[in-house]
Chain A
């Protein structure tokens, strides 16, 4: 017997407008946080999307029909998060792996400890910017070894449970550390868009 699933239904422009009006203050605060992290990433990597416009860009693309909100499948908030994630997901190949390491060396004779500024190719500037931002984040938590250890694991794209296993900490410990990380990032508004 074939599995019966509900057909996906795209929202109409009027429904999109109604959904925007219906966003709660907490929904918006959540979207703003998501936007800020993705926007920060894009800005730090010099990838050209103005951070403050990322959420508006998600709305525009949805309204224009470039992104479809399957209203009977996901909430409007989830759809916007997914759209922002998609917009922010592309990291050019030239910024990955070995090529980047060479580019970084080109602009920084002092190696990974240095903070190269200006000069070099556009890609090397992006690498330098990313390095600078990572250094700034680490500096924010210079006095909190636990957060630094979690950050290091996050840089390796480890999930929450993986980080807990790797560091031998409980879920509660992890949540407490993540709370400090979130609050620290929030406090350091210099990077905010």
Chain B
């Protein structure tokens, strides 16, 4: 006898029986059911319903996961915007720094407001900042991540 443990022995027997069941012919399955007094139709209906229920739960879980992800994204955005400076001059300077550090964002910012940055009003800056925050472009400037 080998040095196999009892759990390994039990696992081997059950694995083999499972493999055997998986490879059984339809007739074997029917014969076994008849011998064991199993009503295949009733069992089929019961298990099919349980599987449909599992799908329903998986669907609900998927929706819950999506909702949770959305909630986290909104919270993250809120955190970012909450850290924006209040003073108009500081806010303008922040946008200027981002544009200077990331020249590729300049065009995006200009497109958003349809005018040159130098001509931005405080309201333009207020409009652009949350959008830059949402894109994560202020994280370095605000000391996040």
Residues of A that sit less than 8 Å from B by CB: 13, 16-17, 20-21, 23-26, 28-34, 37-38, 40-41, 44-45, 55-57, 59-60, 63-64, 78, 81, 84-85, 88, 91, 95-98, 100-101, 104, 126-127, 130-131, 133-134, 137, 151, 154-157, 178, 181-183, 185-187, 189
Contact = CB atoms under 8 A, between A and B. Distances in A.
Interface SS of A by simple majority: helix
Interface SS of B by simple majority: helix
A187 B37 CA distance: 9
A126 B9 CA distance: 13
Nearest to B12: A157
Interface footprint category on B:
35 or more
Contact of B10 (A31, A97, A104, A133): A133
Given A25-B41, A25-B44, A134-B10, A186 B54 contact: no
Contacts of A16: 55
B41 to A, nearest CB: 6
Contacts of B15: 37-38, 41, 85, 157
A189 B35 CA distance: 13
Contacts of B22: 30, 34, 78, 81
Given A25-B44, A26-B40, A155-B13, A96 B8 contact: yes
Given A45-B11, A63-B59, A183-B32, A28 B47 contact: yes
Contacts of B55: 13, 16-17, 20, 59-60, 63
Interface in B39-65: 40-41, 43-44, 47-48, 50-55, 57-59, 61-62
B54 A59 contact: yes
A33 to B, nearest CB: 4
B57 A31 contact: no
B8 A20 contact: no
Contact of A186 (B36, B47, B57): B36
Given A23-B44, A55-B47, A154 B58 contact: no
Contact of A101 (B5, B11, B36): B5
Contacts of A182: 17, 20, 32
B75 interface: no
B33 interface: yes
A155 B50 contact: no
Given A16-B55, A21-B48, A96-B8, A34 B29 contact: no
A30 B61 contact: no
Interface string B93-131: 000000000000000000000000000000000000000
B44 A28 contact: yes
B8 A37 contact: no
Contact of A151 (B13, B24, B53, B61): B13
A80 to B, nearest CB: 9
Given A26-B30, A29-B30, A34-B22, 17 more contacts: A21-B52, A29-B38, A29-B44, A37-B21, A38-B14, A44-B7, A44-B10, A45-B10, A55-B50, A55-B51, A60-B55, A78-B22, A81-B18, A88-B18, A134-B9, A186-B32, A187-B36
